[in-house]
Structure 1
Amino acid sequence: MNIALFLPRLLLAGFVIFSFGCTNYSTTASVQAPPTLISITNNGNSNFTLKVRAQNPEFIFQGYRLYSGATETLAQNPPDLNAGDACLLAQATIVQPIEYTFEIDPSTNANTAGVSCRIFSTLTPGTYIAMRTLGLSVNLQNSSSSFKVSIPSNALIVP
């Protein structure tokens, strides 16, 4: 059988089965892997370079959120998980193990060459930073969506 003719039929059959007879689906949110912070360098003028190693092959992967706090615990477990500064990498649907370079800078300058993403944030030397992975969470019952965050990364002290 010609694969070009078989594939549309297979997709249609799968859609019909899923739409009308599939009751075995999960309502449990997917767990995203947290990134590992490798190093942070002060570039002067409130500009920092952050090296991060991450692996997020999930389809729902969206990017990362940076948190800062006076202590390691506050950076890793902020009172509001929406309060951090996000770096959305939606153009990369599937991300394999990679080392990212982020720029953390309050200005709206363009990314420096070789930088994966710019996080618009102001950091204070001596504070702690941590990151969490952002995944897309869709609620089919009320047609809403939001970000689901991972467990926290390790923490680093801002130089």
Structure 2
Amino acid sequence: MAEETPRRKRKKMSLDSYFSRYILVVFVFLSGISCTNYSTTASVQAPPTLISITSNGSSNFTIKVRAQNPEFIFQGYRLYTGISEKEVQNPTDLNLGTDCVLASSTIVQPVEYTFEIDPSTKDNATGVSCRFFATLTPGTYIAMRTLGLAVNLQNSSSSFKVSPSSNTLIVP
């Protein structure tokens, strides 16, 4: 029997490679079609950790926040204010806070954000990740929650899903 030539070996290897890729593609396609078990429960985002709040004068404040936002559904943060720690961590309506929507983040490791709280519409200061358009008074409490995008496949709607509450800080 004649020995295989290099040309014949290459042709055989390319056919083997082609068929193995083809089988893999068919397997993935069939698995995707036959999969009917998907979760209808919205993913829960991790709450941020408030590190500090400082006054910049005349109802303008800077907040340092440590947070981890690894999922593509991450949208930003919601700030809650109130007269007690209990009120800001357990509001009667989770939609009553002030939103700060960030660009999508692919960061997996915890990162430190700097936020401004200012009722004016001026541009963000250098190094500020986002601005909450709100007015704070000294002695009030603040807490934050992470916003995630929740999509309902049954009625093709979407909304924000909020994380559990962060710790609280007292406005100086």
Question: TM-score if structure 2 supplies the norm length?
Answer: 0.82
3-state SS of 1:82 partner: helix
Task: Tell me the distance in 1 between the aligned counterparts of 2:69 and 2:112.
Answer: 12
Stretches of 4+ aligned residues off by more than 6 angstroms: none
- Structure number with bigger Rg: 2
Distance 1:86 1:17 in 2: 40
Structure 1 stretches of 5 or more lacking a match? none
Q: 1:21-32 maps to which residues of 2 (within 5 A)?
A: 21-32=34-45
Number of equivalenced pairs:
152
| Fraction of identical pairs, as percent | 71
Does the 8 A contact of 2:89 with 2:166 survive in 1?
Answer: yes
TM-score between the two structures when normalised by the length of structure 1: 0.89
Shift of 1:137: 0.2
- Which is richer in helix? 2
- Counterpart of 2:105 in structure 1 is 93
On the 8 A contact 2:149/2:160 being kept in 1, the answer is yes
Pair 1:50-2:68 in alignment: no
Q: In the superposition, relative to structure 1, how do residues 63 and 17 fare at CA in structure 2: closer, same or farther (>3 Å)?
A: same
Q: Report the CA distance shift for 1:107/1:14 in structure 2 as closer, same or farther (over 3 A).
A: farther
Q: Following TM superposition, by how much is the alpha carbon of 1:16 offset from its aligned partner in structure 2, in angstroms?
A: 5.4
* 1:69-101 Cα deviation digits (max 9, x unpaired): 100010111111111011111x23323310000
**Structure 2 unmatched runs, 5+:** 1-16
Higher strand share: 1
CA RMSD of aligned residues (A): 1.9
Q: What residue number does 2:73 align with?
A: 60
